[in-house]
Chain A
């Protein structure tokens, strides 16, 4: 469904149940998307108890960031932590990677994709 087509956004409450796995890039895009729509709708929230989103960094997701040396090593460590499973540490690592993508201007490409 296309959220843009929904009428009366300021009087609509959305509660999303999201299930599936996606890359860090996708996750960053999803977050940006949710961020954008949460401002349009009266309420837009992810229904935590009904959602199960797994973020798994893709293999070549961070290889073309244009950084090398110690930065590349740091990214590698973060990717490994993010893949290690769920839990708070992994979640933070995924968020950190998403932030990295944003800061290296790579994440912005996926923005807007719902």
Chain B
């Protein structure tokens, strides 16, 4: 098939377009987006496949938007021996026109034209291949399915060297087989449809038969059971009779045993009464004997108690004596102690007295010393008070004396010294002083004041000092006056006496101080007055009487006395303890004696009571009569016991337990048999009712019907089963052979694909193809990648190559145009160039129509013819 010309009018956005296609080679139709490249393919498909009046969605959606007119498509196509011009108008004024140009001219219109074109195409074009050999924008990377293309299959058959050529009806056959298979199996091989219905029907029929058989078996079971139960019931009658006989016998035996038991009980009552009487009389007798014995015993007890009481009284007396003796001892000990204490007291008094005397003597001597010292001190004080001179006065005197000396010295210095040297013995009078001056002797005087020296009879020389000397003279006189005043105050005649007096005074003061110290030492801390009063006190308390012992002896006496006192105290304590013990003993004995007396009294009372009782009883019944009664009663009791024993034996012989057991067993057996009988009778009745009910249901008839149905269903099942198996076998064999054959087809397809692919992918390019001619994986440089895992680009390239390989394989007359719509968008430039080469090699065989918006992609296709579309 070849497309020569395509004219579109009012198709989608295209107002009018006409394109002429070369007969063969690569035709690159380029144009901008939305210019209507893909619409061309769509238009061609609509033209060839849809009727002009079609209301299909595909047709509706191509209606132009810019004008209310019908879309028109015209194509000139050659296929096989035919070449025709085909025109259709859709939507409005629908129209179909066909002009066949070759081999004979024909003219058709309407559906006739459409049918004619369909017939021509069916005759000459492999439509599967026509659709398969397209690469559309939408499905560029989808794997191409070439398996349904007859032309390719034929081509591959030839290439595979298969001699038995296909007739072309095989796909139809396969289809029919599949349809037939579908009646029995699902595509995955599971049972379905008729076959499954047959199986289910058989199962249901068999279930029904089983159910009916079960209900019939139920009836049989009831009948059998009825027979068995009837037989059992018959067997029960004699058993019941035997059991009745046994029960009667047992009842008789039991009655007899009961009679015996009653007699025995009566005899036992009599025996019990007799025994009671015997016991009572025996008890009375025994009581009497006991009373007698008790009376004796109590008398003996009273006697022994009396003896005991006597002993106790004696012991009490003894204890009382002991106590008295002990008391006497205590008294004595007390006196001894008092004596010892008195002696010790005396001794202590003597010692004290001695001590006091000693102290008085000491005090006397001490006071004597103190008084002597005081007297001496008083003398000293007296002497001291006689001396007026004090330290102050003395210092004043000293000072005045010193001043006199100093002024005297000064006076001597300023006074003129008058020296007289006597040439002959003369006498001089100077100031009333007569001085004899032998010859050769000199005498000098200082003329401090106005001095007058007179040689009697000869002359009188007056020396009058100067003013200075006069002053000093006056000073000297003042000093002397001071001195004299001081001396007067001190009541001493002169300085030397003053000095002596002062010395004396100092000595006296020293002595006084010493005495004072001595006094302090003597009196110590005690006041003298106190000492004196103490002494007076001591002298006042002085013990009259003479003491004929010294201190040491007194002390020894005191110690002895103390020791004696201590000993006497200890003895007294011991005696007191003894006394206490004796008293305790006495009280104990007394208690004992009292107790004995009490006990004795009690016993006497009791003895009297017992004796009274005995006497009273004897008054009622005598001892002998009592004895006789007891013997009689005993005999009667023995007789009654004998009767009881006899009856017991008889009863034991009758074995009442065994009889009772037998009776119970027999009764139980009769009861059991009766229950069983009733039960069987009831069951039988129930079964009879059931059987009556079953009789109305017609179970056997149902079973027969079910079995018949089952037979029918079974044969139907067998028939369907045969058919199903047949079709399954036919299909499996057919498919197996087809796949085997396809595997052989695959090889040439694979070889062609690899031949075309090697320039593009490289020398190591290999592919695996399955029987549906789908690419399974691609191997490059030993690395195998599944088709699904390949990149978009590789998938697209492989898809194009697969289509090209298909195109290359089909026979020349079967060739259809390859339509490639804007493909290779995922392809890199290098690989694009190699793909272009492949396109080139194919262009010679038929038309390869490439639609693209980027014509540069196909620049590498050298033999390409380019058509550019513009709006």
Chain B residue, CB-CB nearest to A35: B719
In the complex, which residues of chain A have a beta carbon less than 8 angstroms from the beta carbon of B737? 70-71, 73-74, 77
A92 within 8 A of B: yes
Are B738 and A99 in touch, CB under 8 angstroms? Answer: no
Interface members, chain A 67-104 (any B CB < 8 Å): 67-74, 77-78, 91-93, 95-100, 103-104
With contact pairs A100-B730, A104-B173 given, residues A69 and B715 touching in the complex (Cβ less than 8 Å): no
In the complex, which residues of chain B have a beta carbon less than 8 angstroms from the beta carbon of A95? 722-723, 725-726, 729
Q: How far is the CB of B392 from chain A (nearest CB, A)?
A: 181
In the complex, which residues of chain A have a beta carbon less than 8 angstroms from the beta carbon of B742? 70
C-beta contact mask, B332-352 vs A, less than 8 Å → 1, else 0? 000000000000000000000
Q: How far is the CB of A82 from chain B (nearest CB, A)?
A: 10
Are B741 and A70 in touch, CB under 8 angstroms? Answer: yes
Are B169 and A99 in touch, CB under 8 angstroms? Answer: no
Q: How far is the CB of A41 from chain B (nearest CB, A)?
A: 13
Q: How far is the CB of A60 from chain B (nearest CB, A)?
A: 16
With contact pairs A69-B164, A71-B737, A77-B733 given, residues A99 and B173 touching in the complex (Cβ less than 8 Å): no
A20 within 8 A of B: no
Q: How far is the CB of A71 from chain B (nearest CB, A)?
A: 5
**CB < 8 Å neighbour of A99 from B166, B715, B727, B741:** B727
**CB < 8 Å neighbour of B166 from A45, A69, A92, A104:** A69
Most A C-beta atoms less than 10 A away, residue of B162, B177, B723, B734: B734
With contact pairs A66-B167, A68-B166 given, residues A73 and B741 touching in the complex (Cβ less than 8 Å): yes
In the complex, which residues of chain A have a beta carbon less than 8 angstroms from the beta carbon of B740? 70, 73
Q: How many residues of A contact B (CB 8 A)?
A: 23
Are A93 and B715 in touch, CB under 8 angstroms? Answer: no
Are B741 and A96 in touch, CB under 8 angstroms? Answer: no
Q: How far is the CB of A17 from chain B (nearest CB, A)?
A: 16
Q: How far is the CB of A96 from chain B (nearest CB, A)?
A: 4
Q: How far is the CB of A51 from chain B (nearest CB, A)?
A: 14
With contact pairs A74-B734, A74-B736, A103-B176 given, residues A67 and B726 touching in the complex (Cβ less than 8 Å): no
Most A C-beta atoms less than 10 A away, residue of B157, B165, B727, B733: B733
Q: How far is the CB of A13 from chain B (nearest CB, A)?
A: 12
In the complex, which residues of chain B have a beta carbon less than 8 angstroms from the beta carbon of A74? 730, 733-734, 736-738
Chain A residue, CB-CB nearest to B736: A74
B180 within 8 A of A: yes
Are B726 and A99 in touch, CB under 8 angstroms? Answer: yes
B170 within 8 A of A: yes
**CB < 8 Å neighbour of A68 from B165, B729, B738:** B165
Interface members, chain A 38-67 (any B CB < 8 Å): 45, 66-67
Q: How far is the CA of A56 from the CA of B607 in the complex (A)?
A: 149
Are A71 and B170 in touch, CB under 8 angstroms? Answer: yes
In the complex, which residues of chain A have a beta carbon less than 8 angstroms from the beta carbon of B741? 69-70, 73
Q: How far is the CA of A74 from the CA of B169 in the complex (A)?
A: 15
Are B729 and A66 in touch, CB under 8 angstroms? Answer: no
Q: How far is the CB of A53 from chain B (nearest CB, A)?
A: 13
**CB < 8 Å neighbour of B162 from A69, A97, A103:** A69
Chain A residue, CB-CB nearest to B744: A70
Are B726 and A96 in touch, CB under 8 angstroms? Answer: yes
In the complex, which residues of chain A have a beta carbon less than 8 angstroms from the beta carbon of B164? 68-69, 72-73
In the complex, which residues of chain B have a beta carbon less than 8 angstroms from the beta carbon of A100? 730
With contact pairs A45-B715, A73-B741 given, residues A99 and B723 touching in the complex (Cβ less than 8 Å): yes
In the complex, which residues of chain B have a beta carbon less than 8 angstroms from the beta carbon of A66? 167, 169
Are A67 and B167 in touch, CB under 8 angstroms? Answer: yes
Q: How far is the CB of B522 from chain A (nearest CB, A)?
A: 171
Are A98 and B173 in touch, CB under 8 angstroms? Answer: no
In the complex, which residues of chain A have a beta carbon less than 8 angstroms from the beta carbon of B730? 74, 78, 96-97, 99-100
Q: How far is the CB of A46 from chain B (nearest CB, A)?
A: 9
Are B170 and A68 in touch, CB under 8 angstroms? Answer: yes
Q: How far is the CB of A86 from chain B (nearest CB, A)?
A: 14
With contact pairs A73-B737, A77-B733, A98-B726 given, residues A103 and B165 touching in the complex (Cβ less than 8 Å): no
**CB < 8 Å neighbour of B738 from A70, A98, A103:** A70
Q: How far is the CA of A96 from the CA of B180 in the complex (A)?
A: 11
Are B734 and A99 in touch, CB under 8 angstroms? Answer: no
With contact pairs A74-B736, A95-B722, A96-B730 given, residues A69 and B180 touching in the complex (Cβ less than 8 Å): no
Are A92 and B725 in touch, CB under 8 angstroms? Answer: yes
With contact pairs A68-B165, A68-B170 given, residues A92 and B736 touching in the complex (Cβ less than 8 Å): no
In the complex, which residues of chain B have a beta carbon less than 8 angstroms from the beta carbon of A96? 726-727, 729-730, 733
Q: How far is the CB of B659 from chain A (nearest CB, A)?
A: 77
In the complex, which residues of chain A have a beta carbon less than 8 angstroms from the beta carbon of B715? 45
Q: How far is the CB of B201 from chain A (nearest CB, A)?
A: 17
In the complex, which residues of chain A have a beta carbon less than 8 angstroms from the beta carbon of B722? 91-92, 95
**CB < 8 Å neighbour of A92 from B169, B174, B726:** B726
Chain B residue, CB-CB nearest to A88: B725
In the complex, which residues of chain A have a beta carbon less than 8 angstroms from the beta carbon of B165? 68-69
Q: How far is the CA of A81 from the CA of B725 in the complex (A)?
A: 14
Q: How far is the CA of A5 from the CA of B478 in the complex (A)?
A: 225
In the complex, which residues of chain A have a beta carbon less than 8 angstroms from the beta carbon of B174? 71
Are B729 and A67 in touch, CB under 8 angstroms? Answer: no
With contact pairs A92-B725, A96-B729 given, residues A71 and B734 touching in the complex (Cβ less than 8 Å): yes
In the complex, which residues of chain A have a beta carbon less than 8 angstroms from the beta carbon of B162? 69
Are A71 and B173 in touch, CB under 8 angstroms? Answer: yes
C-beta contact mask, B102-130 vs A, less than 8 Å → 1, else 0? 00000000000000000000000000000
In the complex, which residues of chain B have a beta carbon less than 8 angstroms from the beta carbon of A67? 166-167, 169-170, 173
Interface members, chain B 386-445 (any A CB < 8 Å): none
Q: How far is the CA of A82 from the CA of B725 in the complex (A)?
A: 14
In the complex, which residues of chain A have a beta carbon less than 8 angstroms from the beta carbon of B727? 96, 99
Most B C-beta atoms less than 10 A away, residue of A45, A71, A95, A97: A71
Q: How far is the CA of A30 from the CA of B1 in the complex (A)?
A: 49
Q: How far is the CA of A70 from the CA of B740 in the complex (A)?
A: 8
Chain A residue, CB-CB nearest to B731: A96
Chain A residue, CB-CB nearest to B742: A70
Q: How far is the CA of A98 from the CA of B727 in the complex (A)?
A: 10
Most A C-beta atoms less than 10 A away, residue of B177, B722, B742: B722
Are B177 and A103 in touch, CB under 8 angstroms? Answer: yes
C-beta contact mask, B143-183 vs A, less than 8 Å → 1, else 0? 00000000000000100001011110110011011001000
Are A93 and B166 in touch, CB under 8 angstroms? Answer: no
In the complex, which residues of chain B have a beta carbon less than 8 angstroms from the beta carbon of A103? 173, 176-177, 180
Interface members, chain B 65-122 (any A CB < 8 Å): none
Are A69 and B170 in touch, CB under 8 angstroms? Answer: yes
Are A78 and B733 in touch, CB under 8 angstroms? Answer: yes
Q: How far is the CB of B745 from chain A (nearest CB, A)?
A: 10
Q: How far is the CB of B716 from chain A (nearest CB, A)?
A: 10
Chain A residue, CB-CB nearest to B739: A70
Interface members, chain B 727-780 (any A CB < 8 Å): 727, 729-730, 733-734, 736-738, 740-742
In the complex, which residues of chain B have a beta carbon less than 8 angstroms from the beta carbon of A78? 729-730, 733
In the complex, which residues of chain B have a beta carbon less than 8 angstroms from the beta carbon of A72? 164
Query: Which 10 pairs across A and B sit closest by C-beta, in order of nearness?
Result: A95-B726, A70-B741, A96-B730, A74-B737, A69-B166, A70-B737, A96-B729, A96-B726, A103-B176, A74-B734
* Cross-chain pairs A/B with CB under 8 angstroms, 15 sampled: A66-B169, A69-B157, A69-B170, A70-B741, A70-B742, A73-B164, A73-B741, A74-B737, A91-B722, A92-B722, A95-B722, A96-B730, A99-B180, A100-B730, A103-B173
Known pairs A70-B742, A92-B725; list 6 more (Cβ under 8 Å). Answer: A69-B157, A72-B164, A73-B741, A95-B729, A99-B726, A104-B173
Hey, which bits of chain B sit against chain A, CB under 8 A? 157, 162, 164-167, 169-170, 173-174, 176-177, 180, 715, 722-723, 725-727, 729-730, 733-734, 736-738, 740-742
Hey, which bits of chain A sit against chain B, CB under 8 A? 45, 66-74, 77-78, 91-93, 95-100, 103-104
